[in-house]
Chains A and B, each alone.
Chain A
Amino acid sequence: MSTMSHEQAAEELAGVALDATSADVAEQVRSHSAACEDCARELAALEETAGALTQLVPVRSMNAGRGAGIRSRLVSRAGVEREKSSRNAPPREPTVVPPATRPRAIVAPPAARAVIREQAPIVVEGITELRPRRSIAPWLAMAAGLAFVASAAQLIRVTQERDSLRSVVEAGQDTNDDETRRLQASLAAKDEIILGLSGPDVRVISLTQWGARGPVAKMFWDRKLDGWTLVTYNMRQPKEGKTFQAWLVTNDQKKIPAGTFDPDADGRALVHATYKLDRNALQAIAITEEPDGGVAAPTGPVIMAGSAE
């Protein structure tokens, strides 16, 4: 209940509309306006006037890369939040994308670029040592083979998904509804992933887990199209409240976030992103375990790493 008189509130309306008063005054004015039609009407008109002033603000554009990074983080975070809430929700109507092919791996559509905010170099335990502490060359060869199989399997899977999507989109092309637009966006995303795995200028960096057999991962870096496609196989699930996050480690020790992901039930994940990096600037790829939603700089343990040398 506002203790402000009508005259006092009327005096403060313009300041409230311009957000030029204290929070306490604004709250009192709004509380009064909730019970006073004249003040409510006047406040609404003043807020509309204040809104019009926005048109006079000079237009400025954010750095394109940073803007894309923000977008990617927002969409990724929203997806994680939605996944969590949907686990408790009743079953939904099945979509045209087979649910079995999209359990938990997070795949960034082309418009949702990877997080590419550059970070000040920090030392993350283990990141600076790029080679395994003991010789595991034979296992690396097997791991490379497994990863190749995994990536080939992923490529086949994504290709099949793409073909399935394409037929659905082509069937619905005469309509202009939101579902068709969503499917078209998914189709474009699949095409980009396929190109990122099989393009002519794709370099492959293999990641291994130190000291143990198990998960394998490969990062496919399409240096012509600045595409990054991470494929994992046999990865464990992240701990409760955590997710895995990939990093591009540069020669000057910057750790550039490259997307978060949760593997599916088979330990597979496929993450695609776009980031322009000098061909000679990459030192390593690393995967850490971080809080849900990802972080701007690595905080968690290194799960896997691979040298780009």
Chain B
Amino acid sequence: MGADDVLLMTRISEGDQAALGTLYDRWVRPVYSVVVQLLKDADDAEDVVEETFWQAWQKASSYSEEKGPVANWLLTIGRRKALDRLRAKRRHREDLLDDTDSVEDWASGDPSPLEMSEADERKARLIEAMRSLPEEQRQALVLGYFRGLSQTEIASVTGEALGTIKTRMRLGMQKLREPLNVLREEPA
């Protein structure tokens, strides 16, 4: 899939609109999943999905394999656009936390389509890695990544100092790296 995606990006950068359609067919589901997870609104999520793939069309020539897999590049674009929209809409502190976020809440869905063949195993390892984190570090990552809160917002809702949140986020991410290194794809 990786080499195919790179070829698709090359064709898109050459103006092949059919290749854009193929890219969309291949990755719309994970992009939509990430975006709707943050926005919690189907209409907004659809707008962001469209903006994401349009940006992929316009910026295809700027993509290179050094930036990582095409899927991650797309998901990053989508996630950032969703965060921009989400943060523009947030106005009240009570909007920042309207449900409880736990590992189980976001780990209960079907396996991600990104790596269907080993999805269950990879997902299980990821969940275990997250569960092994100290509670406060896990909370910072869940609020930051899955809820799209900024560090300032996390500090506001948890009542902690901004510096404390930054430290928790940094330590949590560093701890995740080791077990996640085991799950990294082998180069093609």
- Whether chains A and B associate is yes
Contact of A301 with B by CB under 8 A: no
Q: Which residues of B contact A22 (CB under 8 A)?
A: 150, 152
Residue contact A18 to B177, C-beta cutoff 8 Å: no
- B106 near A61: Cβ-Cβ < 8 Å: no
Proximity string of chain B (137-160) to chain A, C-beta cutoff 8 Å, 1 when within and 0 when not: 000010011101111101000000
CB within 8 Å for A53 and B50 given contacts A67-B28, A111-B21: no
Dominant secondary structure of chain B at its interface with chain A: helix
Q: B83 within 8 Å of A by Cβ?
A: yes
The answer to whether the Cβ of A86 comes within 8 Å of any Cβ in the partner chain is yes
Question: Is A109 at the interface (CB under 8 A from chain B)?
Answer: yes
Within 8 A of B (CB), among A59-82: 59-63, 66-67, 70-71, 73-75, 77-79, 82
How far does the Cβ of A61 sit from chain B's closest Cβ, in whole Å? Answer: 6
A-B contacts, 12 of them at CB < 8 A, read: A21-B150, A46-B173, A46-B174, A48-B180, A54-B114, A55-B122, A56-B123, A59-B109, A71-B28, A74-B24, A74-B53, A74-B54
Q: Is B133 an interface residue (CB 8 A)?
A: no
Supply 4 further A-B pairs (C-beta < 8 A) apart from A57-B112, A74-B24: A46-B177, A51-B76, A66-B46, A75-B18
Q: For the side of the interface on B, what is the size category? A: 35 or more
Residues A75 and B17 in contact, CB atoms below 8 Å apart = yes
Q: Judging by beta carbons under 8 Å apart, are A75 and B154 in contact?
A: no
Contacts of A185 in B (CB 8 A): 18
Binding site for A on B (CB under 8 A): 7, 11, 15, 17-18, 20-21, 24-25, 28-30, 32-34, 36-37, 42, 45-46, 49-50, 53-54, 57, 68, 72, 75-76, 79-80, 83, 106-115, 119, 122-123, 126-127, 130, 141, 144-146, 148-152, 154, 166-167, 169-170, 172-174, 176-177, 180, 183-184
